[in-house]
Amino acid sequence: MVATFCQAQDSTPFVLKVPDTVNRNLSIDKKRQLLMGATHFTVYGGWLVMLNATWYKNYPRSKFHSFNDMGEWQQMDKVGHAWTVYTSSRISYGMWRWTGISNIKSVLLSATPALAYMLAVEYLDGRSAEWGWSWGDAGANAFGAALFASQQLAWNEQKVQLKFSAHPARYPPDTRQRADELFGTGFLERTLKDYNTQAYWLSFHLPKGLKLPPWLQISFGYGAAGMLGGYENTARDKDGNVTFNRPDIKRYRQWYVAPDIDLTRIKTKSKLLKTVFYTLNSLKFPAPTLEFSNGKFKGHFLYF
């Protein structure tokens, strides 16, 4: 199923609106619908149950409450929330279209559960004494769902694509322990948790009049660096004693512009490659990049 979810019932290839491959008359497959329904219920429900059992149970519970975390991590976590919902919606959409149902129904069945899942996680935060319901997170979740759904309903394609990239970060010896405590030590954990290594991009298709390859895009990115704490580079133990204090490390934002590739616009007859390209299109392609930060421009031969 994973290898062929972008393949329509009549063997006409379907991806997220590559103009010469879209089939508007997909026949509905009830078995595939049942399979997708069960898959979505199992994945979203299972993740939520597992998260509650393995993470939140280790922290004290409280009455439902909210808190304001808009100033944390230079808002990198908020962009991450938007990307998560956008990407979950997009991948789920391709799976529902594989069952033959319409564009509108596929949008509703993909964006709604993705948003509901993230809001359910936010609710668990709201019942935890360590955190709280974040209106910033909830708004970012809603933005991610709206970015996907509005484009798919209006144009039946994603003219503006939200993508992710990450690169390894090297920390000086005197900050390495703090970084390990915050972001973990494994590759996957660091990729997901270390906001200093992440970048989020909005990739746009270029005008057709330029006569450039249809898969070529222009992408504008956002990142941040120098962060060894949510608000400041200081840490305290449970008794209030300072255990880490590096106010000399500057926290700053980064803005990028770079070319990108829309993998779904690369023509291939391989069903497997179509699905792989569709899935990997959530990631920003490494490319020469111009960065603006700290009031200066800086070029990167290859940035990811």
CA distance 69 to 135: 9
> Does residue 34 share a domain with residue 102?
yes
What pLDDT score was predicted for residue 15?
41
What pLDDT score was predicted for residue 4?
36
Dihedral sign of CA atoms 126, 80, 255, 220 in order: negative
> Does residue 173 share a domain with residue 112?
no
Answer for the pair 203, 160: CB distance below 8 angstroms, yes or no: yes
> Does residue 152 share a domain with residue 47?
yes
* Arithmetic mean of pLDDT, 86-97: 96
* Number of domains, the chain: 2
pLDDT tens per residue, range 116-167:
999 999 999 999 998 999 999 999 999 999 999 999 999 999 999 999 999 9
Domain C-terminal end among 156, 176, 210: 156
pLDDT tens per residue, range 261-272:
999 999 999 999
> Does residue 129 share a domain with residue 1?
yes
> Does residue 75 share a domain with residue 174?
no
Q: Is the pLDDT of residue 200 over 60?
A: yes
What pLDDT score was predicted for residue 260?
98
Tokens for 56, please give them: 């939140």
> Does residue 260 share a domain with residue 171?
yes
Answer for the pair 162, 200: CB distance below 8 angstroms, yes or no: yes
> Does residue 191 share a domain with residue 146?
no
Domain boundaries, position 142: 1-156
Q: What is the pTM of this model?
A: 0.88
